[in-house]
Structure 1
Amino acid sequence: MDEAADLVFDTALEPIGDVHRTRLGRAATEPMRADIRLLGAILGDTVREQNGDEIFELVERARVEAFRVRRSEIDRTQMAKMFDGIDIHRALPVIRAFSHFALLANVAEDIHRERRRAIHTAAGEPPQDSSLAATYLKLESAELDSATVAEALQGALVSPVITAHPTEIRRRTIFVTQHRITELMRLHAEGHTETDDGRSIESELRRQVLTLWQTALIRLSRLQISDEIAVGLRLYPSAFFKVVPQVNAEVRRALRDRWPGADLLSEPILKPGSWIGGDRDGNPNVTAEVVRLATGSAAYTALSHYLAELDQLEQELSMSSRLLAVTPELTALADGCRDKARDDEPYRRALRVIRARLSATGAEILFQQPQHQLDLGLPPYATPDELRADLDVIDASLRTHGSALLADDRLALLREGVHVFGFHLCGLDLRQNSDVHEEVVGELLAWAGVHPDYGSLSEDERVALLVGELATRRPLIGDRALGVCPHKWEVPPPACGGLSDRARSELDIIAAAAHAVQTYGPDAVPNYVISMCRSVSDVLEAAILLKEAGLLDASGPQPYCPVGISPLFETIGDLHNGATILQAMLDLPLYRRLVTARGDVQEVMLGYSDSNKDGGYLAANWAVYRAELALVEAARKSGIRLRLFHGRGGTVGRGGGPSYQAILAQPPGAVSGSLRLTEQGEVIAAKYAEPQMARRNLESLLAATLESTLLDVEGLGDAAAPAYAVLDEVAALSQRAYAELVHETSGFVEYFMASTPVSEIGSLNIGSRPTSRKPTSSIADLRAIPWVLAWSQSRVMLPGWYGAGSAFEQWIAAGPDAEADRLEVLHDLYQRWPFFRSVLSNMAQVLAKSDLGLAARYAELVVDESLRHRVFDKILDEHHRTIAMYQRITGHDDLLADNPALARSVFNRFPYLEPLNHLQVELLRRYRSGADDELVQRGILLTMNGLASALRNSG
């Protein structure tokens, strides 16, 4: 593998950029090339030792042929022929070898980025954009006054929400081993040859690579929700418990230092959230028991951490009252522990009191008890604030006798941690589809005798009926409704004494949420998200269900609603109508009182995935932007604070892309100090699995949020209206081009199913939910994750670009202006407008990862030749057109001219993907022809695993 590493870097950027620039950059990337040579050599040795010379030579031959294809020395069909009819027992180790190399290349690239940042810092260069240090300099230059900053950051919140359907391809074991390799390569990068305990770094690397090689890459059984919950919670001990409190404290201190007259960020700005175990939209596996498991496991994780930290503090704070004087408050706290052996150690006794009270809390609220418990017969803490107050007593006392250094270490992190994580750890959102709400509420209304056929009512009639129900405390159901109806009627009559299974399940889930709020605090379940929200009645139906569980009471002068209701606008049409729905919600006096009771804050969620699948990349992005502008205006008129929740995926086709640029690309007023966004798939581990990565990515979210809130980042000024008009026209043209292919081309669904591995994705055990919301082959019902993953595997990447080329070409050619003038308008927008620049940059990244030559191999899987040409020829033409239009608008010949790091990443690994794509096509053809060998299916899943890891994108 040595030669491979050299070769891949020798040819890295030449196909897409300036050769001279490539050579100049070679010295800067030499350490990365050396790392890949080292890891590649170790992997090659491991393949030879474990599988013999024959397999090693087959891997080498595949590598050599892949690079010959890269250099256009042979045709791609010649590369494919070497795998025709290959024995599956020989194919599997080849797939695994190239998959592992991609994984190791990820490590080398991550280490290189860390190395480059350290070099920039050591050289005294200005802080880089997306760092908080750079943001503070920009804020200082803006000369903002304290009142402005205080108003803008009132209720500030930045919340990355770990989603309920992580598509992390790597198994946990693989991830842990990769993490160990990363740590070893960090030591290697620092010039070490041995670990801290004297072991050879190279020997340890060989041991870890051997572990990788001998560990199965894919799961034999589908991931369960309990597994997903456990994986999400591991982020806290691995990174969040350390990084989140640190960053919150540092941001608060930095802002208060600059604006001392404002009491800024009295509450933590950074609060991670979760959907894992609460998102039941299309996932029947989410039950009341799952909600209890998710919220209970989160609380257990929080209290376990606090108890362990208190135990450590008890060992560390050994100061003797014979040597120093403590505060009376500390003495009073310590008096709760009468341990004679610690009579002169007040801090240790005080900490034992705190640990004992927290242990009592755990005994009262947890379903399993953590380590480091202590029973002194003391009462539990009723709230996290009580725990924080006792920790503050210790902090204040330490500072009175010159021990601020001790107070600012572990204790400070614990105090900040309790402030942000409370007893609940992270807020679990609930989510359900509006159609389910309509069905269940209709059943409840019929059961209670309020209305026999809710579904037959008009929208106005529904709103009037629901408002009337919300205005009274009377519940719709009683205890008899909790019994299971033995009959199968859609709506059981009163004589039956029960409800349908679906209604019971929905009510049980919300009751479990109510229990979590009561047990762990109001932040345990902060939001209820309504998927496919299309009307005010959709919002009120969710309110009815919350009312039934005791989580909403709008009947009195002081409404109670600890769980906010968040409409989710997903399709292009829903995004267009979102502001109208919001305004109508707020015009209802009853609902407006609920918003007032929640601090005049209303959250709205925006969906990127379904809007993209519905209307294509450019139309979806512009629909979201337009929706935000309208929602901001509706909120301004109603006098409320709007918080937007962005349902972004890991890939560009699902709203992904660099978070910093994406946030800065939001329209004016859309951030306003608060931002929530989903984190999905393999990006979760890539961003947050260890402290260094977590801090960098959390800083990026905070930096962009502060800049978007306090600075004018749109940059259009008086030219905004003309720019919006241009995008209105271009987006409409793009949606038309996309619809003509996806929704109107005869046989498109058949083409998609045959030319991609979408049918096989359901067998890849990457998540607990089905690939479709319901049994169907409709594109509309297919989940966005398999839609994007399938196109990624076949290297078309269609959701990230299709329709844009035609739209730009048609817009430039239309109208009274000369084409050159219209092209200059687009070029000017690219230069000045962060949104437009971000959209084109993300599109270019996708185009750079696409490969229509390989896509043609997948098209051969379509048996109907006329269908194959009818669809693929359109895709090919649009691909060429889109690249050409990108180059004309931006002036860049290189698709990745603005992202050299990604250029290295993408093109360093592409030759290693070539064998995986060819093998996937070969095995798909064999499997679909009736091959009943289980290893063939396993081989397909392995190629999917390898390609997703290499592209760093699985949906």
Structure 2
Amino acid sequence: MARQANIPASPAKQANDKDAPLKEDIRLLGRLLGNVLREQEGDEVFQVVETVRQTAVRFRRESDPQSGTELNRMLKKLTRDQTVSVVRAFSYFSHLANIAEDQHHNRRRRAHLLAGSAPQRGSIAWALSRLDDAGIPGSAVRKFFKEALISPVLTAHPTEVQRKSILDAEREIARLLAERDQPLTARELARNTQLLHARVATLWQTRMLRYTKLTVADEIENALSYYRITFLRELPALYDDIEAEIAAQFPQRHAGDRELPAFLQMGSWIGGDRDGNPNVNAGTMQHALVRQSTAIFDFYLDEVHALGAELSVSTLLVGVSDELQELAGKSPDQSSHRMDEPYRRALIGLYARLAATARTLGAAHVLRQEVGVAAPYSSPAEFTADLQVIADSLRTHHGGALIKPRLAALRRASEIFGFHLATLDLRQSSDVHERVLSELFACAQVAPDYAGLSEDAKVELLLDELGKPRLLHSPYLAYSDETVSELGVLRAAREVRERYGRRAIRNYIISHTETVSDLLEVLLLQKETGLLHGAWESATGNGAAPWMELMVIPLFETIPDLRCAADIMERFMAIPRVRGLIAQQGELQEVMLGYSDSNKDGGFLTSNWELYKAETRLIELFDKAGVKLRLFHGRGGTVGRGGGPSYEAILAQPAGTVNGQIRLTEQGEIIASKFSNAEIGRRNLELLVAATLEASLMPNEFAGRQARKQAVFEEVMEELSARAYRAYRNLVYDTPGFTDYFFAATPIAEIAELNIGSRPASRKASRRIEDLRAIPWGFSWGQCRLLLPGWYGFGSAVDAWLNDSGDGKEQKRRINLLRTMFKEWPFFATLLSNMDMVLAKTDLALASRYAELVSDKRLRNSIFKRIVEEHERTGACLGAITGVKERLAGNPLLARSIKNRFAYLDPLNHLQVELIKRHRAAAADGRNTDERVRRGIHLSINGIAAGLRNTG
């Protein structure tokens, strides 16, 4: 952040250093931030920040202990106001560095394209080339896209710490930074720099924190911003690119089959996920759909209005189709000035119908008043058909070139987004369903104590009740608020589907699925609310086949649940009536797997392995049953929550588990990281499609002669997992005082105070690790720079397995086997790659500062010592397997990024520790904490999360 001249490197040096533009951008933004800091806070604060920065850089880059001591002493002497200013400065620098890195990724990608380089790994072109080389025909590729469903699902979780106002300011900075890559005159460059300075100043003067708790409505609006930035335009454009790549790689005589169906669709949990969130109900669900619908209609109306301006085609010069003339004739626009412009009149009619539809579906206002009255559309398909009439007329009357610029993308968008924008999933915990049905059964005098029945008795009762035509619920009886609310949600879901279309809501996810009855309970609740249709007995041959409006989807989260997943689904699908419902779903059933909770439950290694095994067992079961399996991956954003790079994760899935069908969550702060920049967002969507394509169609590397080797690999993983599980559970759940250590040595309590989500940090009002949500669990470990959920237990497992071998020769054989697994097994390679990234971002020196927050010295020393020893074991074992001791040796770009940014991140950690000490000391003395101290803690949390990015 020093005020220094912006002197570019020499052309020769820049040519050899591909990261030179990134360094220049970071220097520029740092200098502008420094200028703003001096202007806004004065020279004294600027000098304090500069001194802290220089000392932190020296400490980080030179490993100078004296610098560390000097830094600590300096930070302790800061006043409260100075502390907040320093925290803000380094927090904003983390954000600005992220913007520069994203811009550099876009720059490098563009450089590859301009140079005509070979397709990059993860691109559609790369995936299609691999398939072609493997002998996969174009017909198989086209069949894949016809049958595929790929759906990223946006969720709201309490780790998204950025306000929308901050995101908006940062997007403008990103735009201005990208502009500097274009040839600019001296005056244009000066103007650009002035605007950047103004936007950085805006950022500095914009409140980073929320003073009131985030509501579900706020979360909905935040999510919608990403549609406007990225999804509405980039998704249709991506379809076009994919079609072009397929046509180039697999040419065919007839072009009519080139257009892809809407295989890539958006999903959302925001407004429908009730699990542990008392703020979500029927009202929030309906509000979510109104806002989603309003957003997509705003887009459609703007695009149709723009098309009306563009398509000034006159019938005095060119002909049009009869269908187009008919469409124009229905328009409320009868102006004599446009009688020879049927496209414009037709589009004015489309606009009027869209406006009427938007109002019918809840839009509060339409920005541009339509010319006249028109009937609303009854479905998105009608709108798409009208757009197709316009396109067909243009194509057959020398206007084909006019389709591509806007009309084609709009028609594609209408297929992808409909009138609902994104499919809203419903989610609730199984224990809530049990309570609701217990009350319904008791009030109906069917079963006085449903919850107390055995599992077999519950299943028998539920199946019997499903076969009866009458309902349990009576409008004349009084029920608890919970029962009224839950039934209200399902009734509202039925109304939403009628208003916005069947794609608006089509999935019901059951958290904590542990039994078959957990699934049948939701079927019965659908029957009670008009969502289960037809004669239930028809599955045995009587009457019309039953069908349900919402697919019942189990969510298996904990280690025990994952181990039981296949058995539960086998028993569920063995019920003839259930099998009939699955047939009505197109012989397709979705299963969701929870990554975050299984990681918190059993540790990184065991969670990944149990997920792998569960998937393998499920695919074997479903293949045998003749049912197509769609897996919904509940991946966290971070490695410690089951996250990490999506492309590698999908390719590492067991053979047969992807098969063209995949849904996965995009959570919390990762949404901003992936989709707040349109180009980055487009790239992430392409990665998702490319990985699914490769994982579905590429031949299995372990087929045939590799099968025996695969069996050996899996046997080793089973042993390692068992050992890692014991090591992790022993520390987290079996060590006396560990909970006290965790709550003292991490900022979990302070995170819970942040206004960063509508969902509580814990499922219950307790300090038990079991009740704590997985997201704040992982978030807290990231803040204190230990990132423990992403690696703990691996070192103990590998070390013990190697040393149990008995002699040196066997030990050597075992380490060679692990090296072979790393080289040949994508699952194991991805696992180690993710762990390598986490270890690179772990800092024991900084973590020790947080350990000092534990007042019990004996507890502090004993637990932190165990963590340090495990960290050393894990690093040594990882190096022995991969053959490299340095972290991120295979990813030099990320390694350089970490090296560059962590020198500026360290002061935030040091300051956070100091502020937490002050905050907790005041609370212990019964004093009110100074608001500036609380704000400083929360600002530091924001800055550290931004700096860590995908492990925050």
Instruction: Give the TM-score taking structure 2 as reference length.
Output: 0.94
C-alpha distance in structure 1 between counterparts of 2:16 and 2:80, whole Å: 39
Q: CA deviation at 1:372?
A: 3.5
Q: CA deviation at 1:67?
A: 2.2
Contact 1:164–1:278 (CA under 8 A) maintained in structure 2: no
Q: CA deviation at 1:725?
A: 0.8
Deviations 1:183-230 (A, max 9, x none): 11111133435797x871111111111111112211111111101001
Q: CA deviation at 1:560?
A: 2.4
Whichever residue aligns with residue 841 of structure 2, its letter is K
The aligned counterpart of 1:698 is: 685
The question of 1:950 aligning with 2:947 is answered yes
Structure 1: gaps spanning 5 or more residues:
10-22, 481-496
C-alpha distance in structure 1 between counterparts of 2:29 and 2:778, whole Å: 31
The question of 1:132 aligning with 2:124 is answered yes
The question of 1:35 aligning with 2:25 is answered yes
The aligned counterpart of 1:650 is: 637
C-alpha distance in structure 1 between counterparts of 2:899 and 2:713, whole Å: 34
C-alpha distance in structure 2 between counterparts of 1:552 and 1:264, whole Å: 37
Match of 2:897 among 905, 925, 938: 905
Match of 2:719 among 719, 723, 729: 729
The question of 1:451 aligning with 2:447 is answered yes
Contact 1:156–1:265 (CA under 8 A) maintained in structure 2: no
The question of 1:380 aligning with 2:370 is answered no
The aligned counterpart of 2:472 is: 476
The aligned counterpart of 1:422 is: 418
The question of 1:289 aligning with 2:283 is answered yes
C-alpha distance in structure 1 between counterparts of 2:736 and 2:676, whole Å: 45
The question of 1:319 aligning with 2:313 is answered yes
The question of 1:614 aligning with 2:601 is answered yes
Contact 2:509–2:552 (CA under 8 A) maintained in structure 1: yes
Q: CA deviation at 1:472?
A: 3.2
C-alpha distance in structure 2 between counterparts of 1:812 and 1:195, whole Å: 66
**Where in structure 2 are the equivalents of 1:519-918 lying within 5 Å?**
519-553=499-533, 555=535, 556=538, 557-712=544-699, 714-715=701-702, 717-718=706-707, 719-815=709-805, 818-918=810-910
Deviations 1:602-649 (A, max 9, x none): 010110000000000010011111111011111101111100011111
Q: CA deviation at 1:696?
A: 0.5
Whichever residue aligns with residue 608 of structure 1, its letter is Y
The aligned counterpart of 1:461 is: 457
Q: CA deviation at 1:27?
A: 1.9
Q: CA deviation at 1:567?
A: 0.4
Match of 1:305 among 296, 299, 304: 299
The aligned counterpart of 2:47 is: 57
Contact 2:134–2:699 (CA under 8 A) maintained in structure 1: no
Match of 1:169 among 158, 161, 177: 161
Contact 2:293–2:363 (CA under 8 A) maintained in structure 1: no
Match of 1:181 among 160, 165, 173: 173
Contact 1:330–1:394 (CA under 8 A) maintained in structure 2: yes
Contact 2:838–2:951 (CA under 8 A) maintained in structure 1: no
Whichever residue aligns with residue 945 of structure 1, its letter is N
Whichever residue aligns with residue 242 of structure 1, its letter is R
The aligned counterpart of 1:238 is: 229
C-alpha distance in structure 1 between counterparts of 2:534 and 2:847, whole Å: 56
Whichever residue aligns with residue 908 of structure 2, its letter is L
Whichever residue aligns with residue 508 of structure 2, its letter is Y
Match of 2:494 among 509, 514, 525: 514
SS at match of 1:802: coil
SS at match of 2:65: coil
Distance 1:396 1:194, change over 3 A: farther
The question of 1:405 aligning with 2:383 is answered no
Contact 2:612–2:654 (CA under 8 A) maintained in structure 1: yes
Q: CA deviation at 1:324?
A: 1.3
Distance 1:869 1:914, change over 3 A: same
Contact 1:714–1:835 (CA under 8 A) maintained in structure 2: no
The aligned counterpart of 2:264 is: 270
Distance 1:270 1:189, change over 3 A: same
Whichever residue aligns with residue 527 of structure 1, its letter is N
Contact 1:307–1:373 (CA under 8 A) maintained in structure 2: no
Q: CA deviation at 1:263?
A: 5.5
The aligned counterpart of 2:198 is: 207
Contact 1:660–1:701 (CA under 8 A) maintained in structure 2: yes
C-alpha distance in structure 1 between counterparts of 2:158 and 2:578, whole Å: 34
The aligned counterpart of 2:541 is: none
Contact 1:154–1:673 (CA under 8 A) maintained in structure 2: no
Q: CA deviation at 1:545?
A: 1.6
For the aligned residue pairs, the C-alpha RMSD in angstroms reads 2.2
Distance 1:213 1:724, change over 3 A: same
The aligned counterpart of 1:494 is: none
C-alpha distance in structure 1 between counterparts of 2:720 and 2:259, whole Å: 41
C-alpha distance in structure 2 between counterparts of 1:402 and 1:830, whole Å: 57
Q: How many residues align?
A: 924
Q: CA deviation at 1:129?
A: 0.4
**Where in structure 2 are the equivalents of 1:61-210 lying within 5 Å?**
61-70=51-60, 71-75=62-66, 76-145=68-137, 148-149=140-141, 152-153=144-145, 155-165=147-157, 167-192=159-184, 200-210=191-201
C-alpha distance in structure 1 between counterparts of 2:6 and 2:775, whole Å: 35
Contact 2:594–2:633 (CA under 8 A) maintained in structure 1: yes
The aligned counterpart of 1:18 is: none
The aligned counterpart of 1:339 is: 334
Contact 1:533–1:567 (CA under 8 A) maintained in structure 2: yes
Distance 1:915 1:544, change over 3 A: same
C-alpha distance in structure 1 between counterparts of 2:627 and 2:437, whole Å: 28
Q: CA deviation at 1:353?
A: 2.1
Distance 1:292 1:184, change over 3 A: same
C-alpha distance in structure 2 between counterparts of 1:852 and 1:910, whole Å: 14
The question of 1:395 aligning with 2:391 is answered yes
SS at match of 1:234: helix
C-alpha distance in structure 2 between counterparts of 1:256 and 1:64, whole Å: 55
SS at match of 2:736: coil
Match of 1:936 among 929, 933, 936: 933
Structure 2: gaps spanning 5 or more residues:
539-543
Contact 2:157–2:775 (CA under 8 A) maintained in structure 1: no
Distance 1:104 1:194, change over 3 A: farther
Distance 1:641 1:252, change over 3 A: farther
Q: CA deviation at 1:449?
A: 2.0
Q: CA deviation at 1:821?
A: 0.8
C-alpha distance in structure 2 between counterparts of 1:730 and 1:82, whole Å: 46
The aligned counterpart of 2:217 is: 226
Contact 1:681–1:954 (CA under 8 A) maintained in structure 2: no
Deviations 1:289-341 (A, max 9, x none): 10110011111112222122111111111111111111111111111126042
C-alpha distance in structure 2 between counterparts of 1:729 and 1:444, whole Å: 47
Contact 2:106–2:680 (CA under 8 A) maintained in structure 1: no
Whichever residue aligns with residue 46 of structure 1, its letter is V
Contact 1:165–1:276 (CA under 8 A) maintained in structure 2: no
Contact 1:302–1:421 (CA under 8 A) maintained in structure 2: yes
SS at match of 1:603: strand
Identity rate, percent: 46
SS at match of 2:553: strand
SS at match of 1:952: helix
Q: CA deviation at 1:737?
A: 0.5
Distance 1:581 1:256, change over 3 A: farther
C-alpha distance in structure 2 between counterparts of 1:209 and 1:362, whole Å: 38
Q: CA deviation at 1:470?
A: 2.0
Q: CA deviation at 1:265?
A: 7.3
Contact 1:713–1:834 (CA under 8 A) maintained in structure 2: no
Contact 1:249–1:416 (CA under 8 A) maintained in structure 2: no
Q: CA deviation at 1:24?
A: 11
Whichever residue aligns with residue 309 of structure 1, its letter is E
**Greater alpha carbon shift after TM alignment, 930-939 vs 631-640:** 930-939
Q: CA deviation at 1:499?
A: 0.6
